[in-house]
Structure 1
């Protein structure tokens, strides 16, 4: 099972959207406090639609609490940051890896990034754009990790029904 880790997320809509993505991919969501919202807020549930009750979510008091409760993450934890020198497509992600993203206003603290520099990854962007939306960034990196693992148990095929077109709308 893949793992998304949000360090001090601030916007309930982003976390709700990320939660929905986690449900759709069978991914566990880890939230590290402080959160910029309450987990029972309408905005988070609205963004997560009716999937929020299906979400596998864990909450931690701080970064050290997360590490203490997830020792298997050490050496299997990637840090998404605009400061990385390595592209998000370069690591060989394991099927049980952890992908961490920082809060919307500041990202992951510099001291965490410096201590884990070999595991820092970046999504390339044009020019001087500061960053992408958090929910979009999570989707990009998560789906690369899933692609590398042949999408695990995700359903790879839809069911397109062919309609007979008779030339009329």
Structure 2
């Protein structure tokens, strides 16, 4: 019994340490500068764990302008290897808030989903594109029918797995963007 209490205490301390790291990194994030490319990633209600930090790491590598976090709680930024303080993050409570900001800035919005008819490899991406990636289990937090101007794209897959890891899917789309819009 004593061992379990110690284990719970250790878990609580580890969680507290991660929250402290997140808070410090979020404060540093205000100094982040947009990358060389005009694409934005919108992380829609994702789990706050491993994938968010990994997406920041790829976003920094591919020169993303910024990342929108929709209702994502504190996460440990350390798997991102410092990228969270280099890529501007904007925090929103709802998808609608991010959507309005993107529309105001003339971004074309693309939702990624495995059940979309159109393939990413057969679609032309605008220079100002925002990629919306949904929750790993439940998908997007909104109904596509409510946003008729959002294009739906799927990444071609040939195996039997249902879907790609969300961090992998984000990286593939960033690469496709770079392929179509070579960096300056």
CA RMSD of aligned residues (A): 2.1
Q: Could you list the runs of 4 or more consecutive aligned residues of structure 1 that deviate by over 3 angstroms after TM superposition?
A: 72-75, 113-118
The TM-score, its normalising length taken from structure 2, stands at 0.71
Runs of 5+ in structure 1 lacking a partner? 154-169
- Is the 1:19–1:48 contact (alpha carbons within 8 Å) kept by the matching residues of 2? yes
**What is the CA deviation profile of residues 88-126 of structure 1, one whole-angstrom value per residue up to 9, with x for unaligned ones?**
112211222111110111112462267448710111223
- Is the 1:84–1:117 contact (alpha carbons within 8 Å) kept by the matching residues of 2? no
1:110 and 1:30, CA in 2 relative to 1: closer, same or farther beyond 3 A? closer
Aligned to 1:83: 115
1:89 and 1:106, CA in 2 relative to 1: closer, same or farther beyond 3 A? same
1:107 pairs with one of 117, 136, 139: 139
Runs of 5+ in structure 2 lacking a partner? 1-37
Aligned to 2:67: 29
- Is the 2:45–2:70 contact (alpha carbons within 8 Å) kept by the matching residues of 1? yes
The TM-score, its normalising length taken from structure 1, stands at 0.77
**SS across alignment from 2:118:** coil
| Paired residue total | 146
